[in-house]
Amino acid sequence: MILLFPEPFEICVLVLAVLILVALYRLVAGPTSPDRVVALDAINTLVVGIMFALGVIFRENIFVDVAILYAVLSFIGTIYYAWYIGGRYT
Amino acid sequence: MIIEPLIAICIIIGLVFSALGIFGLIRFPDVYTRLHAETKATTFGSIFIGLAVILYALFRWDDAGEGISLAAHVLIGIIILMVTNATGSHAIARAAYKSGQKPDPSVTDALADVEP
Amino acid sequence: MIAFLVTTVFIFILYLILTAGSGTLGLWSYEELGAGIVLSLLVGAVSSRFFCKERSVRMANPVRILRLLIYVLILFPLEMARANLDVAYRVITGRIRPGIIRIHPELQTDLGILMLANSITLTPGTLTVAADEKTGDLFIHLINIPEGLEKKEIVKTSDLFSFFDLPAWIRRIAE
């Protein structure tokens, strides 16, 4: 069984990009603001997965470093949205 | 020879679980159940895509040292992803409850006695 | 002071792993090492009071570290895979029975409650909504409550997991 690598990673990036477009529906339509934050969180996780795969496609370590930073910064963003919606922890 | 099918299986598992998480996000009725599908399934999917990248970097990279370095980076990324996604979904659920959203189809609600 | 040292060394080791292979001095270059020392001193000074909030050296015991590795590498991924298959089944069929229940985990330390809350969020079809800090009780949203479990006032934690008794393991690691 011969697979032409890294083409499977390119397919992976393509499918994840389509999934991000599907999640954008919930981001735009979601009836309340917590729904929108949930959709944003899902998009952030998928973007981290895409960056892992892009590191293989372009043969660059820097994509994975950016993915780590993106994960941490998106977490901080999620925490701030949670403060904005529900008030700070006491 | 066994590495390529293994990588392909990891990628397929990752894509299937990511897709299930997004469809749960579209399909479920209220914010808590959406959060369930999104947090668990997309985190699991991204972890499997990271595992595929680790396998490829360890066994099919031109420069062995650089491959090991890439695998270590992806491992740290996976650990950070697990911790931050769990904590972040906890924060969103708490904020949604504080902002007044009740779990809509719900059998029981023990929190309603404590926090009206 | 000990908290500052532990935080600085931890951050410096993380920095060394992330920049390995950059130069000639071993695996690292002089510039990376200098920048790493300065940065980890700065970050350690700022964040030591969050990172080492509890003043105890309980987690320095190698047996506890070994148990933590077993927990993270073997037990937790199995439970996580089972929970994901369960959620996949719920997404496809749409059969859900959601609700919020209250559990009493009997954990005293902050690290124990943090580990249990994060494990619950990623594993058994549940999600931690709130934590009562006085009694240590957790309020948990389940996507599929088993029949009869909603009648109980406070649910035992071992009812939530299917393969292993994860709360007992967390008690052995962090208490």
Tens of pLDDT, residues B76-109: 888 888 888 888 888 888 888 888 777 777 766 6
Q: What is the pLDDT of residues C149-167, one digit of tens each?
A: 666 666 666 666 666 667 7
Which of A48, A64, A87 has the CB atom closest to B73's CB atom? A64
pLDDT digits (tens, 9 = 90+) for C19-71: 776 667 667 778 888 888 898 889 888 887 777 766 666 666 778 788 888 88
Instruction: Give C127's strand partners.
Output: C141
Are the beta carbons of A71 and B5 separated by less than 8 Å? Answer: no
Nearest to B89 by CA among B18, B41, B19: B41
How do residues B32-64 score in pLDDT, each as one tens digit? 888 888 888 888 899 999 998 888 888 877 777
pLDDT, residue C127, reads 65
Residues C39 and C71 in one domain: no
In degrees, rounded to 5, the angle at the alpha carbon of residue C158 between the alpha carbons of residues C157 and C162 is 125
Same domain as C150, residue C109: yes
Domain residue limits at C29: 2-51
Residue A73 has pLDDT above 90, yes or no: yes
Residue C19 and residue C32 in contact, taking contact as beta carbons nearer than 8 Å: yes
Tell me, what's the pLDDT at C155? 67
Domain count, chain C: 2
**Beta strand pairing status for C126-131 and C99-103?**
unpaired
- Which stretches of chain B are DSSP H helices? 3-27, 31-37, 43-59, 64-98, 111-114
Residues C36 and C118 in one domain: no
User: CB-based contact (8 Å) between B4 and chain A?
Assistant: yes
pLDDT value of residue B99: 81
Chains contacting B (3 or more CB pairs within 8 Å): A, C
Q: What pLDDT score does A70 carry?
A: 92
Contacts of C28 (CB under 8 A, 6+ apart): C16, C19, C20, C22
Chain A, 48 to 67: residues with Cβ < 8 Å from chain B are 48-49, 52-53, 55-56, 61, 64-65, 67
